[in-house]
């Protein structure tokens, strides 16, 4: 029996085990939506295509499964771009389907035509324009394979309208044959031995864990490595949750807004074990003064990350989980030394702190969220101060419970990503920690949450400023607050207008009851926390500075 391209897409998604799709219909995808109409796939209609891409991303980060989004040609496709770039920077597997004008109209500036494969070339792991329906099933198979293996990333498939209509025999391939794509999974044995030797010789080791640990599901192996070697563990923003922050060896996050303990420990260490991390400038600060006394072991699945920003003593290309398991097998149990005492002292002498003056502090709210959810919630963030406070003051103990746009730093990410995360993990309390700036970038997705009753909680830390930019203006631009004071709507009324629950909190003692009420509501809730306006995120490494020279805190 012959199937249309649209039917092939639906069947292929079912073959891949896809359960949820986030999308927005339009002219060029009418045929695909017609096939979705009576399929078993659950489609969530967002209110803006950017929301679809972020929701697919949040779904992928929360579940570890690829996220799927769909948009029509032209503006539908271009609206996905920020979401695709966000996923690309953070190595998140999403498959984006876009409609395209029919093949005979391609290249003629046709109505709603945009060269989306050209536009997304630098922000996808790979992309396809499918011009023959016979190639469609194979392309989808390849797309899922590419998106989810090696270093994951977004793949876009552009489908001209006539391709979705034309019919062919459906045969979903069992295997993928890509001679130019064979990710290295097993680490080089010689290099793993070298790493084990360096670890054996090290007196002051530090583990620097990134998003790769979460992606590869290597938390247990990382935990074992830390306990075997008694190495303190610091994580990047995306590595949060890969190692329990309640553990004595946890240093918390490092880098620009990292803990002092983490930044000092990295600056003092004689061996840095980088695991699934990429030496981003927000982590390293001034690169010449980053871990200046350390030999470096770098484990990553992407060979291009090794040697990109720093010189490495032992490079190991491979899947983090497998490499760590093999490495752990070669290690002996280390005994405590002065180094663990030093770490304990660094942590004790440099706790995260803020001034408690009776006013409503954003840091306090995060601490309360941690207490009320007992550290069991899935925390999604927007971007800016809210994101950094969430990273600093919530104690994450499990992977995939902290979801945030790290590499691209996309304001407006949080709410749609929270919706995606909740769809993927309906059993988990999902809280979007937001600022009053970021939330207004994709506030329309509140309608999506209400429509499908996806009970996400949005906690707005409302200071009527674009807080992080204001903080930089305060510190580096002599308090010249150029266009960072921002007004918002009455968020409580806005929530009501959307059909969500709105709560306003202005006093510290109201925080816990509001959170409890929000969790009980089992409906989308928006809490407007009216916080101290000019609170800053500290510690802070000035841009381009060495990470052991921090301001504040």
Question: CB-wise, 270 or 280, nearer to other proteins?
Answer: 280
Q: Which of 161, 295, 347, 361 is catalytic?
A: 161
Long-range contacts of 34-38 (CB under 8 A, 24+ apart): 34/6, 35/4, 35/6, 35/7, 35/9, 35/10, 36/10
Question: CB-wise, 200 or 307, nearer to other proteins?
Answer: 307
SS (H, E, C) 61-84: HHHCCCEEEEECCCHHHHHCHHHH
Provide the minimum distance between the beta carbon of 119 and other proteins in the complex, in angstroms, as a whole number. 11
What are the structure tokens assigned to 26, written together?
Answer: 């339009």
Distance CA 460, CA 438 (A): 9
Q: Is 279 a catalytic residue?
A: no
Q: Is 468 a catalytic residue?
A: yes
* Max CA separation in the chain (angstroms): 72
The residues that touch other proteins, with contacts defined as CB under 8 A, are 117-118, 121-122, 125-126, 129, 146, 178-181, 302-304, 307-308
Provide the minimum distance between the beta carbon of 122 and other proteins in the complex, in angstroms, as a whole number. 5
Question: CB-wise, 129 or 391, nearer to other proteins?
Answer: 129
Q: Which of 14, 112, 340, 444 is catalytic?
A: 112
Distance CA 547, CA 545 (A): 6
Q: Is 112 a catalytic residue?
A: yes
DSSP result, 381-417: E-SSHHHHHHHHHS---STTSEE---SS--TT-HHHH
Provide the minimum distance between the beta carbon of 167 and other proteins in the complex, in angstroms, as a whole number. 24
Q: Which of 388, 441, 468, 540 is catalytic?
A: 468
Provide the minimum distance between the beta carbon of 126 and other proteins in the complex, in angstroms, as a whole number. 4
Nearest to 416 by CA among 165, 10, 60, 167: 60
Question: CB-wise, 310 or 403, nearer to other proteins?
Answer: 310
If residue 469 lies in a helix (H) or strand (E), which one and from where to where? helix 467-476
What are the structure tokens assigned to 534, written together?
Answer: 């000019």
Residue 487 Cα to chain centre, angstroms: 28
Nearest to 42 by CA among 62, 66, 19, 63: 19
Q: Which of 49, 142, 245, 268 is catalytic?
A: 49
Provide the minimum distance between the beta carbon of 151 and other proteins in the complex, in angstroms, as a whole number. 8
Nearest to 401 by CA among 219, 209, 206, 153: 219
Q: Is 161 a catalytic residue?
A: yes
Question: CB-wise, 227 or 302, nearer to other proteins?
Answer: 302
| Phi and psi, residue 263, nearest 5° | -70, -35
Nearest to 73 by CA among 30, 37, 128: 30
Please check whether residue 152 is in contact with residue 93, taking contact to mean a CB–CB distance below 8 angstroms. Answer: yes
Provide the minimum distance between the beta carbon of 88 and other proteins in the complex, in angstroms, as a whole number. 12
Provide the minimum distance between the beta carbon of 254 and other proteins in the complex, in angstroms, as a whole number. 25
What are the structure tokens assigned to 466, written together?
Answer: 């674009």
Question: CB-wise, 122 or 358, nearer to other proteins?
Answer: 122
Question: CB-wise, 292 or 307, nearer to other proteins?
Answer: 307
* Residues labelled catalytic: 49, 111-112, 161, 468
């Amino acid at each position: 029996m012959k199937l249309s391209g649209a039917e092939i897409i639906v069947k292929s998604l079912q073959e891949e085990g896809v359960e949820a799709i986030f999308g927005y219909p339009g002219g060029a995808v009418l045929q695909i939506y017609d096939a979705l109409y009576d399929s078993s796939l659950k489609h969530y209609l967002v209110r803006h295509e950017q929301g679809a891409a972020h929701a697919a991303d949040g779904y992928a980060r929360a579940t570890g499964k690829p996220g799927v989004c769909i948009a029509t040609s032209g503006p539908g496709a271009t609206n996905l771009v920020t979401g695709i770039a966000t996923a690309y920077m953070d190595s998140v597997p999403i498959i984006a389907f876009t409609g395209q004008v029919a093949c005979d109209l391609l290249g003629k500036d046709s109505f709603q035509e945009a060269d989306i494969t050209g536009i997304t070339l630098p922000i996808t792991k790979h992309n396809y324009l499918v011009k023959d329906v016979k190639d469609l099933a194979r392309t989808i198979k390849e797309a899922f394979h590419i998106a989810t293996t090696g270093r994951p990333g977004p793949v876009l498939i552009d489908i001209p309208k006539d391709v979705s209509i034309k019919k062919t025999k459906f045969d979903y391939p069992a295997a993928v044959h890509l001679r130019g794509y064979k990710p290295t999974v097993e680490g080089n044995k010689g290099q793993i031995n070298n790493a084990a030797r360096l670890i054996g010789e090290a007196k002051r080791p530090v583990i620097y864990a990134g998003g790769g640990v979460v992606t590869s599901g290597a938390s247990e192996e990382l935990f074992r490595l830390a306990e075997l070697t008694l190495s303190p563990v610091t994580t990047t923003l995306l590595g949060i949750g890969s190692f329990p922050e309640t553990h004595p060896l946890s240093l918390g996050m490092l880098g620009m807004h990292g803990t002092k303990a983490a930044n000092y420990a990295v600056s003092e260490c004689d061996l840095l074990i980088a695991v699934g991390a990429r030496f981003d400038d927000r982590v390293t600060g001034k690169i010449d003064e980053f871990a200046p006394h350390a030999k470096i072991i770098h484990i990553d699945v992407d060979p291009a990350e090794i040697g990109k920003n720093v010189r490495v003593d032992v490079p190991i290309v491979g899947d983090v989980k497998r490499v760590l398991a093999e490495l752990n097998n070669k290690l002996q149990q280390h005994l405590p030394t002065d180094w663990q005492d030093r770490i304990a002292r660094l942590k004790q002498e440099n706790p995260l702190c803020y001034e408690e003056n009776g006013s409503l502090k954003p840091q306090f709210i995060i601490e309360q969220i941690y207490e009320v959810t007992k550290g069991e919630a899935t925390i999604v963030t927007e971007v800016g101060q809210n994101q950094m406070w969430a990273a600093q003051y919530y104690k994450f103990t499990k992977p995939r419970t902290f979801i945030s746009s790290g590499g691209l730093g996309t304001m407006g990410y949080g709410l749609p990503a929270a919706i995606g995360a909740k769809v993927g993990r309906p059993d988990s309390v999902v809280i979007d920690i937001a600022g009053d700036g970021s939330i207004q970038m994709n506030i329309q997705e509140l309608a999506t949450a209400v429509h499908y009753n996806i009970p996400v909680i949005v906690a707005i830390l409302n200071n009527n400023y674009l807080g992080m930019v204001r903080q930089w203006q305060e510190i580096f631009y002599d308090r010249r607050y150029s266009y960072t004071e921002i007004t918002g709507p009455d968020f409580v009324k806005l929530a009501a207008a959307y059909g969500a629950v709105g709560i306003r909190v202005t006093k510290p003692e109201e925080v816990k009851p509001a959170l409890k009420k929000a969790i009980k509501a089992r409906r989308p809730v928006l809490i407007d926390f009216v916080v101290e306006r000019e609170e800053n995120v500290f510690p802070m490494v000035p841009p381009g500075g060495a990470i052991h020279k921090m301001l504040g805190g």
